[in-house]
Structure 1
Amino acid sequence: MDRLLAIILLAALPVCASALPSLQTVASIRIVDVARAELNACLGNDNGAAQVEVVGKPEDVQVLAGVLAIKARKPEGRWPRARVGMPVEISVNGEVVRSATVWFAVSVHHDVQVYKADAALGTVASSLKFIAHDADVAAMQGQRVSDPHQLDDMRLRHAVLAGSPVLLEDFEHIPDVDRQQRVEVSAKYGVITLQTKGTAIGRGNAGDTVLVLVDGAETPVHARITNKGVVQVVD
């Protein structure tokens, strides 16, 4: 009886083996190569100035037999950046069956504009001096200033140090009227218009209403900004 059972089991083995699905192996290096090719395409003209190193890669993966396709997608977010995860999709017969991420360390060196000297909060951009300096732009946070005209009518929103990259986020637009600014004040009483001076308590641009302490007055009045340094009383 035992012998008969053994014969039956042996006969069934080829049938069971043939029922198993066929698999194919996708090597890790192949996934990395596809991700690197997409990364190089994203770098574009920066490719020659870039240094790229793999810092994280998936293991070999097994998928069902069939027509294999491996595609990397563009990374999202700020670009370029020091750490980049390249998402990779593995498809069989047109259907995505696995996904993986390849991580790269990236550096891209260019000459960028940096501050020649320390500068205080509120310094007008037109009075600042910039010099070119080599820097890793992938490690920089914020939008670089490449054209001084980007800073027309702007000033520093915080203090900066010599050698720091010039970023658009360092600046703010100069308002038409600023706090503690001396302003021209006009007030209409019927057909009569009076002109005097005062000190703005608030800040804003044309069309905004701010408080202004008119010279000789004890309490501020509301005034609408009509031009740079010019307001009209609305009380």
Structure 2
Amino acid sequence: MKACAVLLLSTLAAPSATGAAAPAAAPVQQVSADAIARTVEAELRARLQAAGRTQASVKVAGRIDDQTVPAGALSTVVGTIAGRWPRARVGVPVQLRVDGAVARSLTVWVESQDLRDVPTYSADYPARRGGEGIALATAQVDMNCCAGDALESIDGVQSLRLKRSVRAGQPAMAADFEVIPDVQAQQPVRIDVARGAVRLSVPGVALRDGRVGERIPVRADDGERTVVSRVTGKQKVQVDE
């Protein structure tokens, strides 16, 4: 009886000869952190070059771990950066794809610089300041600070004015300026009045910017009434009645 019990226990403990074998582990591959960093940096440099940022530099700044993904045809896809780009530091979405399917998603932090010699403002200036009253000086600036293009030359602002207030040391951007309109708001204008055969001119003030052909409100110096007039020239308007 004792021998039968031992035999039974031995049979239960032994692996079944007819049982299914344990499944083999799926093959994998390693993707090194260095390989991911090189791909991200190369892709971002290409994007900067395409955007005309030929002097910009970019490097991975955050830690990247080696990644384990399934075996197969591997591709590293650098995604679209959220918000304004380039800027000094940004998180870049990256996907590791195997046979076209996403195997791993991660964020890679990078830093960028775009040091250039550009015109900068020598002082604070208010909006609407004419270009002839603005002093500029060339200085080296990291242009990742700003969207758009810097002025190509400090000589091209004489016929322009500021659209917004600016601070000393800021790079002078092309988007900061606009062409001075034919009539400027809150500036003196000559108001020509045509009434039948009668023609007369009176001094006044423009209440809004205007270009030739546009209609703007003006007010004569000797009255409080506002009239709508047609811009005819530099600080000149005509009231047609």
Same fold (TM over 0.5): yes
Match of 2:37 in 1: 32
Match of 1:132 in 2: 138
Q: TM-score, normalised by structure 2?
A: 0.77
Contact 1:25–1:62 at 8 Å: present in 2 too?
yes
Cα 1:162–1:3 change in 2 (3 A) is same
Structure 1 residue ranges without an equivalent (≥5): none
Structure 2 residue ranges without an equivalent (≥5): 1-7
Could you report, residue by residue, the CA deviation over 1:114-172 in whole angstroms, capped at 9, with x for unpaired residues?
12344444321134232211122223455422234664532134544443321234334
Cα 1:91–1:227 change in 2 (3 A) is same
Which of 89, 92, 105 pairs up with 2:95? 89
More helix by share: 1
Contact 1:225–1:231 at 8 Å: present in 2 too?
yes
Match of 1:171 in 2: 177
Cα 1:189–1:49 change in 2 (3 A) is closer
Cα 1:22–1:11 change in 2 (3 A) is farther
Q: Distance in 2 between matches of 1:225 and 1:217?
A: 20
Aligned residues: 232
Residue 200 of structure 2 corresponds to residue 202 of structure 1: no
% identical aligned pairs? 33
Cα 1:93–1:159 change in 2 (3 A) is closer
Match of 2:75 in 1: 69
Contact 1:187–1:233 at 8 Å: present in 2 too?
yes
Q: TM-score, normalised by structure 1?
A: 0.79
Match of 1:116 in 2: 122
Q: CA RMSD in A?
A: 3.1
Q: Distance in 1 between matches of 2:9 and 2:190?
A: 112
Residue 113 of structure 2 corresponds to residue 104 of structure 1: no
Deviates more, 1:181-190 or 1:167-176: 167-176
